[in-house]
């Protein structure tokens, strides 16, 4: 085992000391990630805001407050409309993502919150822009919840709401008198607690939550990248993988032309051990490049990994796939010139059509089909699946398996093409 | 120690080694002397499993065929074309080559220290090889061959392209290794080196073995006679002799003829090669 590890360490050291190779494995990918991330519109706060029409039919304070909150939200570009038909047309024409209609009884429902009247708003969305609608839906829930918390902290409003509830309980026909008395006592107790300074919206109110509101925005499925950086960092990774493949793919040829291959062949190690050492180095470099770029994207550009376990799977599969491609290239490039140049050009083209230049999800269908011959394209799919497509294990299986197969086939072809002894 | 039997190797139409047989005895410094292109490096390559012979076989006594990786543990090779990593330091190179031999830990560290010391590179061990002079690279190339203390060393033109100082230290090192009992196959196209170092020499040309023996034997059988050249004014006289001491005494004893110069050319390996091929070694 020692010789294999020694070979891998030597090759990694070589990569780090070769400024050109190190730049193409890490520096250039980072530049790609930053540049394209910026071009694609950076993070969500800088992205085009969601155009939303609001039709407020409610005359009361709750409706106005919600409109106000939506207007202040950075991710929503709000325009008010009095005419529901006009607003619906705006959505149909693509001028707005959604129409939000606040019903006439919204304020009344808010005041009657303890009585069990549901507060509801209506939303009409553009079916082709469901992902943005999902985003908006979450946003509205969040705003409404915040509004409610503010209300709970307001003793005057609480008094009205509780009075309403008491009234409703007293006049309700479907509850028995003891129940009505019990409820009345309970509402009095709440009122006294609030008068004494108890704030149900504060953290210590955990045990006493008068109503549960589930915020669905957190669980809204994501079908698109949250920011340009989630696209561009994947592109960066593609270029980084390409850098690793070319660096290690040509290292066999350069060992030959520099004469050091002679010492590897005269050492008491097998050819398989030499290849294992090279492969291990390439595998480690591929993993490192992916880890560094993802970590950097997370730390500095707000990238979040939706499926960490799937990300690990994607990175491992890419490591195997591109180590195989490296060996394929090594087999092709017996000399540093000639075949070596051809190998590099081939890998470059594969990276370009595989998502390095144009992100896969904006590719025209025909180009996307063509890009599937490139292992880089499958790596892009795996990484997208882990970062923002929310792939489950079965969904990850196919692209990862294809990536690994590329690796195995490339490895086999490369190894059989490598010339060893004279 | 090492037996080569009827080795033959063709590169395309060119016959690089043509039915070469040699037997290197344990503990000797064996010289392979021949001009560039004689097939020396190809022979070394076949001796260590780097080049597959078209015909013939190689046996390392007590170990087997060097095509078999574990057998190569007994051999250290310093290839003619430098086989060291320029972007690693001298020490990193040595540690790497030691690991290839499955050495590790303290044994490896100590051996690295010692070999770097032997080739005089201790003070530069943490510098990258790219910053080294030609002579230093040669010495490191040699050190890499002996990191694992092999009983057999194959040194292919270990002094090619080095300054006189490095050359002397390399020759010194080979001598001291031989004194420690290491068997050495030494190829060169410098007859002085072969004459100084080697207990036996094989003269090769065009892949064929022309003569083999100790240096005095070769000179006696193939070197021809000693030539005395006497200059008298603008005239010079050439005398072939088998007893130069007596003849010189006779010439000097005759006061009547004015002698302006005297040169004695004793036969050497150069004349051996000239006599065997009609060409000079340095062509
Ligand atoms: N890999 C090779 N391919 C083609 N010809 C070669 C190769 N290696 C050596 N030769 C040729 O074989 C002959 C012997 O070469 P070599 O063994 O290197 O000689 P030497 O080491 O004595 O100078 C030379 O003519 C050389 O050009
Ligand atoms: Mg040679």
Query: What is residue B67's DSSP assignment?
Result: T
> In this predicted complex, what is the ipTM?
0.84
Task: Decide if A157 contacts A65 (C-beta within 8 A).
Answer: no
Which pLDDT score is estimated for A174? 66
How high is the mean pLDDT of chain A?
79
Q: Please give the share of chain B, as a percent, with pLDDT higher than 70.
A: 99
Q: Quick one: average pLDDT of A261-265?
A: 90
pLDDT reading at A300 higher than 80: yes
Q: Does the residue B175 lie in any domain? A: yes
In sequence order, the 6+-apart residues with CB closer than 8 A to the CB of A66 are A102, A106, A121, A143, A144, A147
Q: Report which ligand 1 atom has the smallest distance to the Cα of B42.
A: 17
Mutation for testing the B interface, residue in A254, A256, A262 having most B CBs under 10 Å: A262
Which pLDDT score is estimated for A409? 94
Q: Does the residue B154 lie in any domain? A: yes
* B95 → chain A, closest CA residue: A6
Cα B59 to Cα B47: distance, rounded to the nearest angstrom: 8
Which residue from B8, B16, B54 has its CB within 8 A of the most atoms of ligand 1, so it is best to mutate?
B16
B261 and B164: one domain?
no
Q: Quick one: average pLDDT of A208-232?
A: 49
DSSP B149-192: --SEEEEESTTTT--HHHHHHHHHHHHHHHHTT-EEEEEES-HH
Q: How many CB pairs under 8 A join A and B?
A: 83
Q: Please give the share of chain A, as a percent, with pLDDT higher than 90.
A: 23
B92 and B10: one domain?
yes
pLDDT reading at B195 higher than 60: yes
Q: How far is the CA of B168 from the centre of ligand 2 (A)?
A: 20
pLDDT band at A45 (very low <50, low <70, confident <90, very high): very low
B79 vs A268: CB contact, 8 Å cut-off? Answer: no
Check if A5 contacts B (Cβ < 8 Å): yes
Cα A351 to Cα A238: distance, rounded to the nearest angstrom: 7
pLDDT reading at A99 higher than 60: yes
For residue B45, the ligand closest to its alpha carbon is 1
Nearest CA-CA distance, residue B199 and chain A, Å: 26
Tell me whether strands B200-205 and B183-188 are parallel, antiparallel or unpaired: unpaired
Nearest CA-CA distance, residue B165 and chain A, Å: 25
pLDDT reading at B88 higher than 70: yes
Check if A419 contacts B (Cβ < 8 Å): no
In sequence order, the 6+-apart residues with CB closer than 8 A to the CB of B11 are A422
The lowest-confidence range among A32-41, B171-180, B268-277 is: A32-41
A267 vs B97: CB contact, 8 Å cut-off? Answer: yes
What are the distances in angstroms from CA A72 to CA A41, A67, A78, A218, B282? 21, 9, 9, 20, 91
How high is the mean pLDDT of chain B?
91
Tell me whether strands A98-102 and A122-125 are parallel, antiparallel or unpaired: antiparallel
Residues of A in contact with B96 (CB under 8 A): 6, 9-10
Among B50, B73, B104, beta carbon nearest to A268: B73
Q: Does the residue B259 lie in any domain? A: yes
Which pLDDT score is estimated for A111? 72
Nearest CA-CA distance, residue A401 and chain B, Å: 34
Dihedral Cα B114, B119, B122, B128, nearest 10 deg: -120
C-alpha neighbours within 13 Å on the C-beta side of residue B34 = 24
Mutation for testing the A interface, residue in B83, B128, B151 having most A CBs under 10 Å: B83
* B147 → chain A, closest CA residue: A267
Cα B240 to Cα B267: distance, rounded to the nearest angstrom: 11
Pair of tokens at residue B128: 């990258």
B180 and B258: one domain?
no
pLDDT tens string A237-256: 999 999 999 999 888 888 88
B248 and B184: one domain?
no
pLDDT tens string A147-178: 766 766 677 777 777 777 777 777 766 667 77
Q: Does the residue B283 lie in any domain? A: no
For residue B10, the ligand closest to its alpha carbon is 1
Among B98, B128, B145, B100, smallest CA distance to A5 is for B100
For residue B202, the ligand closest to its alpha carbon is 1
Which pLDDT score is estimated for B95? 96
Nearest CA-CA distance, residue A311 and chain B, Å: 34
A18 vs B87: CB contact, 8 Å cut-off? Answer: yes
B18 and B83: one domain?
yes
The lowest-confidence range among A13-27, A268-282, A361-375, B56-70 is: A361-375
Q: How far is the CA of B270 from the centre of ligand 1 (A)?
A: 22
pLDDT tens string A390-420: 888 998 999 999 999 999 999 998 888 877 6
Residue B2, beta-bridge partner list? B24, B60
Residue with the larger pLDDT of the pair A336 and B236: B236
B155 and B240: one domain?
no
Q: Does the residue B150 lie in any domain? A: yes
Query: What is residue B243's DSSP assignment?
Result: -
Q: Does the residue B272 lie in any domain? A: no
Domain range spanning residue B235? 225-266
Among B48, B73, B81, beta carbon nearest to A259: B81
B13 and B89: one domain?
yes
A262 vs B104: CB contact, 8 Å cut-off? Answer: no
pLDDT band at B158 (very low <50, low <70, confident <90, very high): very high
CATH number at residue B57: 3.40.50.300
Among B69, B81, B84, beta carbon nearest to A269: B69
pLDDT tens string A178-218: 777 777 777 777 777 767 665 554 444 333 332 222 223 22
B210 and B230: one domain?
no
Q: Which of residues 349-408 of A touch B (CB under 8 A)?
A: none
B13 and B65: one domain?
yes
Q: Which of residues 257-276 of A touch B (CB under 8 A)?
A: 258-270
Check if A7 contacts B (Cβ < 8 Å): yes
Dihedral Cα A173, A174, A176, A178, nearest 10 deg: -90
A421 vs B52: CB contact, 8 Å cut-off? Answer: yes
Query: What is residue B124's DSSP assignment?
Result: G
pLDDT reading at B145 higher than 80: yes
Going by alpha carbons, the residue nearest to atom 2 of ligand 1 is B11
Nearest CA-CA distance, residue B155 and chain A, Å: 13
In sequence order, the 6+-apart residues with CB closer than 8 A to the CB of B55 are B6, B7, B8
pLDDT band at A117 (very low <50, low <70, confident <90, very high): low
Among A258, A260, A268, beta carbon nearest to B101: A268
What are the distances in angstroms from CA A214 to CA A146, A404, B11, B62? 12, 42, 80, 81
pLDDT tens string A325-357: 999 888 876 655 556 677 788 888 888 888 888
Dihedral Cα B189, B192, B198, B204, nearest 10 deg: 30
Cα A116 to Cα A183: distance, rounded to the nearest angstrom: 14
In sequence order, the 6+-apart residues with CB closer than 8 A to the CB of A11 are A248, A251, A277, A278, A281, A282
pLDDT reading at B90 higher than 50: yes
Residue B14, beta-bridge partner list? B11
Which pLDDT score is estimated for B131? 96
Cα B178 to Cα B185: distance, rounded to the nearest angstrom: 11
Cα A327 to Cα A332: distance, rounded to the nearest angstrom: 9
Going by alpha carbons, the residue nearest to atom 26 of ligand 1 is B37
Among B88, B86, B41, B78, smallest CA distance to B177 is for B78
pLDDT band at B283 (very low <50, low <70, confident <90, very high): low
Nearest CA-CA distance, residue B101 and chain A, Å: 6
B130 and B248: one domain?
no
Task: Decide if A266 contacts A420 (C-beta within 8 A).
Answer: no
Q: Does the residue B280 lie in any domain? A: no
Residue with the larger pLDDT of the pair B280 and B96: B96
Mutation for testing the A interface, residue in B79, B97, B100 having most A CBs under 10 Å: B100
Q: How far is the CA of B265 from the centre of ligand 2 (A)?
A: 29
B141 and B243: one domain?
no
In sequence order, the 6+-apart residues with CB closer than 8 A to the CB of A177 are none
Pair of tokens at residue A147: 């509004």
B153 and B77: one domain?
yes
Please tell me the total count of domains within chain B.
2
Which pLDDT score is estimated for A44? 46
Q: Does the residue B281 lie in any domain? A: no
B69 vs A268: CB contact, 8 Å cut-off? Answer: yes
Q: How far is the CA of B81 from the centre of ligand 1 (A)?
A: 12
Its pTM stands at 0.72
Going by alpha carbons, the residue nearest to atom 17 of ligand 1 is B39
């Amino acid at each position: 085992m020692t010789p294999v590890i020694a070979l891998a360490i030597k090759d990694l050291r070589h990569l780090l000391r070769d400024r050109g190779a190190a730049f193409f494995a890490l520096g250039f990918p980072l530049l790609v990630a930053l540049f394209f991330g910026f071009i694609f519109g950076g993070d969500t706060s800088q992205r085009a805001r969601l155009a939303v029409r609001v039709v407020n039919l409610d005359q009361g304070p709750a409706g106005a407050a919600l409109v106000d909150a939506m207007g202040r939200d950075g991710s929503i570009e709000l325009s008010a409309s009095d005419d529901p038909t006009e607003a619906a047309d705006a959505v149909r024409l693509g001028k707005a993502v959604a129409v939000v209609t606040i019903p006439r009884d919204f304020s009344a429902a808010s005041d009657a919150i303890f009585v069990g009247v549901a507060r509801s708003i209506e939303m009409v969305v553009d079916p082709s822009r469901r992902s943005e609608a999902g985003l908006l839906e979450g946003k509205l829930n969040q705003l409404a919840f915040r509004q409610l918390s503010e209300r709970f902290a307001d003793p005057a409003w609480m008094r009205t709401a509780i009075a309403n509830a008491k009234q409703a309980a007293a006049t309700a026909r479907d509850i028995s008198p003891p129940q009505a008395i019990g409820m009345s006592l309970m509402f009095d107790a709440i009122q006294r607690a609030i008068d004494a300074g108890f704030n149900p919206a504060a953290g210590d109110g955990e045990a006493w939550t008068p109503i549960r509101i589930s915020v669905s925005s957190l669980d809204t499925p994501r079908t698109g990248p949250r920011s340009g950086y989630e696209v561009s960092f994947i592109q960066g990774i593609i270029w980084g993988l390409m850098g690793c493949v070319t660096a290690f793919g040509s290292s066999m040829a350069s060992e030959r032309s520099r004469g050091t291959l002679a010492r590897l062949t005269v050492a008491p190690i097998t050819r398989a051990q030499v290849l294992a050492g090279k492969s291990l180095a390439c595998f480690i470099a591929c993993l490192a490049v992916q880890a560094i770029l993802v970590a950097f994207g997370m730390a500095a550009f707000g990238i979040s990994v939706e499926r960490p376990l799937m990300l690990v799977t994607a990175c491992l599969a890419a490591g195997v796939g591109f180590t195989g491609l490296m060996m394929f290239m090594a087999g092709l490039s017996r000399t540093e010139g000639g075949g070596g140049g051809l190998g590099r050009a081939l890998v470059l083209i594969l990276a370009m059509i595989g998502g390095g230049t144009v992100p896969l999800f904006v590719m025209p269908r025909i180009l996307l089909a063509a890009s599937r011959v490139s292992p880089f394209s499958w790596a892009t799919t795996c990484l997208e699946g882990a970062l923002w497509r929310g792939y489950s294990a079965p969904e990850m299986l196919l692209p990862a398996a294809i990536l690994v197969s590329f690796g195995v086939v490339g490895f086999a072809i490369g190894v059989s093409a490598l010339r060893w002894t004279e | 120690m090492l037996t080569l039997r009827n080795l033959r190797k063709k590169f395309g139409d060119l016959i690089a080694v043509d039915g070469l047989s040699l037997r290197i005895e344990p503990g000797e410094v064996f010289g392979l002397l021949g001009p560039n292109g004689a097939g020396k490096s190809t022979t070394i390559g076949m001796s260590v499993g780097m080049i597959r012979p078209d015909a013939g076989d190689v046996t390392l006594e007590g170990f087997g065929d060097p095509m078999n990786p574990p057998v190569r543990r007994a051999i250290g090779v310093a290839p003619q074309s430098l086989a060291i990593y320029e972007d690693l330091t001298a020490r990193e190179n040595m540690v790497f080559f030691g690991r290839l031999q499955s050495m590790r830990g303290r044994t490896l560290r100590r051996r690295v220290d010692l070999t770097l010391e032997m080739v005089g590179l201790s003070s530069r061990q943490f510098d990258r090889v790219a910053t080294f002079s030609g002579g230093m690279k040669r010495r490191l190339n040699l050190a890499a061959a002996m990191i694992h203390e092999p009983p057999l060393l194959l040194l292919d033109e270990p002094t090619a392209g080095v300054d006189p100082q490095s050359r002397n230290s390399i020759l010194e090192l080979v001598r001291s290794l031989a004194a420690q009992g290491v068997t050495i196959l030494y190829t060169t196209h410098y007859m002085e080196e072969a004459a100084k170092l080697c207990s036996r020499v094989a003269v090769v040309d065009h892949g064929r073995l022309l003569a083999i023996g100790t240096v005095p034997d070769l000179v006696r059988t193939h070197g021809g006679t000693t030539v005395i050249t006497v200059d008298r004014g603008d005239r010079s006289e050439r005398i072939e002799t088998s007893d130069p001491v007596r003849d010189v005494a006779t010439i000097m004893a005759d006061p009547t003829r004015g002698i302006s110069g005297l040169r004695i050319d004793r036969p050497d390996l150069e004349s051996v090669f000239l006599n065997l091929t009609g060409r000079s070694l340095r062509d």
